[in-house]
């Protein structure tokens, strides 16, 4: 971690990574990278950490690009509170740091403010100026404070036994009930019966 503290954050290199991963240099993912960095440098060296994002928009991509925390390995949880904030915390003890865009700081950066607070339609926003202001503002856009996560976030959910659904014939976690969640009506698909397999 000491190496991380001494290494300057190369925002241009990060922006290239964002374009490759996210599809374009989205302002939310760029700011998210600054936010992740602010939390990371405060975590003591050698501490294994998890992450929480308080929005589905952009921040989970920043966390997954810059830390080992991903949705897939369970070290990143997205709890959609609609707030543009993230936390990194000690996975065993729950103490960590929460970083958020501080609205008090937005007045100094009018293009970022218009984008973030949706004061202009997307077609009226100047993407280049937004990115330029993000680079100039850096960590000055954000606030940070220490947090303690709830004990439930420190527990790894047990997957339990896997069984075959008597309705559709596919494996599912037995804890979900007598049939899988899809057959209970929670499938994202319109058709109930699946057509022949695509070869």
Residue 79: per-residue pLDDT? 96
Please say whether the beta carbons of 25 and 18 come within 8 A.
yes
Same domain, 146 and 199: no
CATH code of the domain in which 180 resides:
3.30.60.80
Alpha helix positions (H), 23-159: 27-40, 59-66, 110-116, 127-137
What is the residue range of 172's domain? 160-199
The C-alpha angle 168, 77, 11, rounded to 5 degrees, equals 125
Residue 191: per-residue pLDDT? 66
Same domain, 145 and 175: no
- In this prediction the pTM is 0.84
Q: How many CB atoms lie within 10 A of CB 28?
A: 21
pLDDT tens per residue across span 105-124: 999 999 999 999 999 998 99
Same domain, 48 and 120: yes
Same domain, 193 and 116: no
Same domain, 166 and 150: no
Instruction: Look over the chain and give the mean of its residue pLDDT values, rounded to a whole number.
Output: 91
Residue 139: per-residue pLDDT? 93
Same domain, 53 and 149: yes
Q: Count of domains in the chain?
A: 2
Residue 199: per-residue pLDDT? 60
Q: From CA 41, how far away is CA 49, in angstroms rounded?
A: 12
Same domain, 27 and 70: yes
- Residues 6 or more apart whose CB falls under 8 angstroms from that of 88 comprise 36, 39, 40, 43, 49, 50, 51, 67, 69, 96, 97
pLDDT tens per residue across span 175-189: 999 999 999 999 888
């Amino acid at each position: 971690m000491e190496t991380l503290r001494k290494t300057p954050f190369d925002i241009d290199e990060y922006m290239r990574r964002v374009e490759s991963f996210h599809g374009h240099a989205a302002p939310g993912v760029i700011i998210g990278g600054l936010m992740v960095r602010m939390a990371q440098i405060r975590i003591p060296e050698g501490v294994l950490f998890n992450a929480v994002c308080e929005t589905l928009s952009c921040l989970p991509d920043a966390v997954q690009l810059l830390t080992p925390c991903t949705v897939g390995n369970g070290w990143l949880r997205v709890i959609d509170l609609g707030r543009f904030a993230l936390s990194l915390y000690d996975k065993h003890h729950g103490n960590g740091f929460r970083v958020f865009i501080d609205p008090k700081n937005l007045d100094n950066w009018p293009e970022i403010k218009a984008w973030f607070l949706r004061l202009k339609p997307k077609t009226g926003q100047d993407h280049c100026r937004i990115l330029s202001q993000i680079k100039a503002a850096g960590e000055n856009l954000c606030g940070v404070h220490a947090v303690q996560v709830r004990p439930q976030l420190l527990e790894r959910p047990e997957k339990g036994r896997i069984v075959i659904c008597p309705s559709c014939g596919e494996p599912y976690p037995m804890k979900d009930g007598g049939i899988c969640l899809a057959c209970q009506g929670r499938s994202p698909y319109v058709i109930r019966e699946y057509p022949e397999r695509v070869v």
